[in-house]
Amino acid sequence: MKPIVSAILFMAIVCAVPAAAHTPLCACYNNGDDTVTCEGGFSDGSSAAGVQMRVEDASGKMLIKGKMDANSEFNFKKPDGTYRVIFDAGEGHVIEIDGKDILE
């Protein structure tokens, strides 16, 4: 009986993260007022709400940490100097966006 329960539990866990089976997508744009908005999602159309977001400087030092909100968006104040945004939905589902590619 126990293995079945474990299997069901395991299934439940696997099924609870359906988005992980799909390609992660993230795009950021400069709002023109020194703030940046990033939108996330998965290729099947599912939301990225709750996905870890990080903003790092050139040396990899973390400047801002946060999460995709209920609308699958993440807003932050644009750092001075070189930066990059990391969308981290777990192993194999990480996207890095260079700050210089984030335009209005």
Partner 1 sequence: MKRIIIAATLLSLLLAAPVMAHFQMVYTPQSALAKAGSIDLKLVFTHPFEAGHTMDMGQPEQFFVVHKGKKADLLSTLKPVVWTSLTNSGAAYEASFKLRGMGDNVFCLVPSPYFEKEEDSFIQQITKVVVNTGGFPTDWDAPVGLPAEILPLDKPYALWTGNVFRGVVLSEGKPVPNAKIEVEYLNHAPLMDKNAFAKTAAVEAPQDAFVTMTIKANAAGEFVFGIPRTGWWGFCALGVGPAKAFKGKALSQDAVIWIQARDMK
List the one residue from 6, 35, 43, 82 that touches partner 1 (CB under 8 A).
Answer: 43
Q: Using the rule CB under 8 A, is 99 a contact of partner 1? A: no
Q: By CB under 8 A, is residue 30 in contact with partner 1?
A: no
Q: What are phi and psi of 73, to 5 degrees?
A: -125, 155
Query: Do residues 77 and 54 make contact, with C-beta atoms less than 8 angstroms apart?
Result: no
Output the smallest distance, CB 42 to partner 1, in A: 8
Q: Which stretch binds partner 1 (CB under 8 A): 12-20, 26-34, 57-65, 75-83?
A: 26-34
* Residues 6+ positions from 66 with CB-CB distance below 8 Å: 52, 53, 54, 74, 76
64 contacts partner 1 (rule: CB under 8 A): no
End-to-end CA distance of the chain: 58
Is 98 a binder of partner 1 (CB under 8 A)?
A: no
Please, what is the minimum distance in Å from the beta carbon of residue 41 to partner 1?
4
Indicate whether 18 belongs to the interface with partner 1 (CB under 8 A): no
Amino acid at 41: G
* The token pair that represents 70 in the structure block: 């209920």
What's at 47, amino acid-wise?
S
- The contact set with partner 1 (CB under 8 A) reads 23, 25-27, 29, 37, 39, 41-45
